[in-house]
Chains A and B, each alone.
Chain A
Amino acid sequence: MDTIDTNCLENLLELIGGEKEALDELISTFLIEGQEMIDDMRRSLSSQDQEVLRRSSHSMKSSAQDFGATKLSELAASLEYNCKNNWPSQAEQQVDTITTQFKLASQALTDYLKH
């Protein structure tokens, strides 16, 4: 299971006080908000809104890192970096990859929640 680094989740659990329920709730929040970020990225593609794309990838980067979705975080960081100056040439491709990776991470986190 390389989509999720469980060490990160252990650290997060310690950070928020060790309550499993709190972590569960936090993961649920991320699953909903993460989907909103993906939706924002998709919308920005049609409107070519560079700022929205940059901000949503920035947010995805930070949150994904917290939950140990290292691959997802790296992909988001790369997109954020590309958004810095001009509209990224590979924007659509990158968003697609991030979407796929988010789905994988979501699945992994949902599984983590269950056990």
Chain B
Amino acid sequence: MLEGNTSNSRSERILIVDDQATQRKKMSLAVTTLGYDVTSAADGKSALKMLRESEFDLILLDILMPEIDGFGVMEFLKKDSVLSEIPIIVISALDSEMDSVVKAISLGAQDFLPKNFDPILLEARINASLEKKRARDLELDYLSEVNRLADAAATLESGHIDPKRLGLEAMCKREDALGNLARVFTRMASEVYERERRLRQQVRTLKSLGLLLACGVVTGLGVVLTRIAALETSSPLGMVLWVNIVCAIVCFGNVLVRGRSPVINFRLIPVFALWAIFTAVMGEAVVFWVAQHLQASYISLILVCEGFIVFAFASIIKIEQATFKRLIGFLIGMTGVLMVVMTTQGTGAVGGLHWAALAMLAPLGYAMRAILLTLKLPDSIDMVTATGWSAVASVLFLIPIVTMRGDFVALNVDFTNGTGVLVLVVLLYGIVSATGVSMRVHLIRSAGAVFASQSAFVITFAGIAWSMILLGEKLPWQAWVALGLLVVGLLLVGPKEEAEEIDPITKLDHEL
């Protein structure tokens, strides 16, 4: 497009390359007069240096130059993907250089200009080349946008990336067909992404649910074993000590068989110390103690409180949101717990209420462990290794206490006098503990503390079932009503919302 405008207001940068000072100066003055920003170079080498260092919109190139001539410059530019886009007008004396012009055009020159050009021809040729360059720039811009869209599609196909993070927002704002395409693409990709995300979460929830059931069934067996042991011995701490020794041996045996290193960071010692207090002292020892006075099924019912306590803790430290629905569930659950505690009055246990209240320490300890593991246990530590070290910590804690109280339980392998049962219980409980706790650690990591604490739910059912099967216990109807209330309560508190399943904890981890 030819414009008759010669006012000094154009921003295009033009490079003039000519070895002859007179020609260079003449062209420079003429092009400056047209209003362009002019730079000149006296030979091919310095021209290439300038082209590498700053941007130009057009080159006016002389062919006959010493060292690197016009052809040399063109051949070099041709190899560079960015520089090859700069249009070139070859300057030549037509009478003697016609062959050169032909060669230059074949090398990619846009146009040619005779040495004795007149102002109108100069302006027309420059304008035409710049116009082509502008169109080409638009085309390249469009192409690069199309490529970005294609890249975005490839990225999406290769992984699970949120389409909002593909950086297509600017393109979506375009008003042309490409903008339309980008909008449709982003919208469809978002829909697919959402669907896939929901599906992945469902799979994760299902997996967690399976683990939850397994974990509950195994741990529920522990309560029954505790009851059996409690009827045989009056030294709960001594039993817990043995169980933890077996648990540690089982865990480290497993770790060594798998060829892993059981070594952990010294800075985690306080975490394992707390873990030991929460589980060995508040949990297992208390359960052993109350098991002498309460039925295993009742203890199982009380252990279900873990779910509510974790929810309460998580709400307070803002891992979880305390919605109205969850609060109602919490209250219903608490009513159920109260009913369980009240019904213990009728079981004939001496001071049943007192023992039931004491038993509440166990779910409290387990709940505190869940929160502790969520916040302080690095993901890098193998779950079995962690369980093993928690057992070691428990043993170290229990040895002085057991020694002081004289609670040490001698294990007699002689089955004839009845004490041999304890050996079996200890071995079995050690294995159950190692398995159950390892599963619990994995569950807390993969599904979050609150969801994991729902295993208390399964533990309760499993505990009651095991008690009925192995111990022949029976529950009064009030206990079943209480259980019903607990189920409803836990359902209302519910597992975490799927969307916040991972994010809030990860966020908390970053803050800590």
Contact = CB atoms under 8 A, between A and B. Distances in A.
Contact of A63 (B20, B96, B118): B20
A29 B25 contact: yes
Nearest to B95: A77
Contact of B118 (A11, A18, A55): A11
Nearest to A25: B25
A58 B20 CA distance: 11
A62 interface: yes
Contacts of B180: none
Contacts of B118: 11, 15
Contacts of A71: none
B404 interface: no
A59 B63 CA distance: 12
8 contacts: A15-B33, A22-B29, A26-B25, A26-B29, A33-B20, A63-B22, A65-B115, A66-B22
Interface string A30-43: 10111000000000
B96 A81 contact: yes
Contacts of A63: 20, 22-23
Contacts of A34: 22
Max chain B Cβ within 10 angstroms of own Cβ: one of A17, A30, A62: A62
Interface string B9-51: 0000000000011110110011011000000000000000000
Contact of B119 (A15, A22, A25, A32): A15
Contacts of A62: 20, 23, 93, 115-116
Contacts of A15: 26, 29-30, 33, 117-119, 122
Nearest to A83: B96
B375 interface: no
A30 B20 CA distance: 9
In the A-B complex, the 8 residue pairs with the closest CB atoms: A17-B33, A16-B29, A62-B115, A30-B22, A63-B22, A15-B30, A29-B22, A15-B119
B316 to A, nearest CB: 81
A10 to B, nearest CB: 12
A82 to B, nearest CB: 12
Nearest to A59: B20
Interface in A9-29: 11-12, 14-18, 22, 25-26, 29
A17 B93 CA distance: 22
Interface residues of B, number: 20
A62 B63 CA distance: 14
Contacts, number: 61
A22 B93 CA distance: 23
Interface in B104-120: 115-119
Interface in B459-494: none
B146 interface: no
Contacts of A11: 118
Contact of B32 (A12, A17, A33, A58): A17
B349 to A, nearest CB: 112
Given A11-B118, A17-B33, A33-B21, A61 B93 contact: yes
A55 B93 CA distance: 12
A14 B29 CA distance: 10
A61 B20 CA distance: 12
Contact of B33 (A16, A61, A80): A16
Contact of A33 (B22, B30, B115): B22
Contacts of A33: 20-22
B396 interface: no
Contact of B26 (A12, A14, A58, A77): A12
B428 to A, nearest CB: 103
A26 B26 contact: yes
Contacts of A18: 33
B445 to A, nearest CB: 78
Contacts of A26: 22, 25-26, 29
B64 interface: yes
Contact of A58 (B21, B22, B96): B96
Contacts of A58: 64, 93, 96
A25 B24 CA distance: 13
Nearest to B66: A55
A59 B18 CA distance: 11
A53 to B, nearest CB: 14
B26 A16 contact: yes
Interface in A33-81: 33-34, 55, 58-59, 61-63, 65-66, 77, 80-81
A68 to B, nearest CB: 11
Interface string A98-110: 0000000000000
B113 to A, nearest CB: 12
A92 B25 CA distance: 31
Nearest to A81: B96
